[in-house]
Amino acid sequence: MVGSRITVADSFLSRLIGLIGRKTLDAGCGLLIRPSSGIHTFGMRFSIDVVALDKNLKVVRMWEKLRPFRATVISFRIHSVLELSSGQIRDRQIALHDQLEILN
């Protein structure tokens, strides 16, 4: 399990705000931004792990410990982006081509 408290950002406003303004992101928490072909951390106060997913929620790219005021590449292969607390890619052993699924 990648996280038990994943919030979905699927409106213009929720995608625009994202994690900006938060002081931290606890383990088990995250933000699934969809649609999104890349993200930035401008205005953020902490590093995050970023998992890029295709339209079928398969992992196509990852950025570990992405620091504030950085940006990922933009790719048409990326359909959504999962933002997790720093270290979660390693701790949860997320790998390229892993298939994720959303459970309600």
Predicted pLDDT at 102: 85
Distance (Å, whole) CA 71 – CA 61:
14
Predicted pLDDT at 47: 97
Predicted pLDDT at 94: 97
Ordered by start, the domain boundaries in the chain are 5-91
Q: Are 88 and 64 in contact (CB under 8 A)?
A: no
Q: Are 19 and 44 in contact (CB under 8 A)?
A: yes
Give residue-wise pLDDT tens across range 34-84: 999 999 999 999 999 999 999 999 999 999 999 999 999 999 999 999 999
CATH code assigned to 5-91: 2.60.120.1140
- Residues 6 or more apart whose CB falls under 8 angstroms from that of 52 comprise 38, 59, 60, 61, 62, 72, 75, 77, 78, 80, 81, 82
Predicted pLDDT at 78: 98
Q: Could you tell me what percent of the chain has a pLDDT over 90? A: 87
Predicted pLDDT at 76: 94
Average the pLDDT over 7-36 and give the result: 93
DSSP SS3 for 68: coil
Give the DSSP H or E segment for 90: helix 88-91
Mean pLDDT of the chain: 94
Distance (Å, whole) CA 81 – CA 85:
13
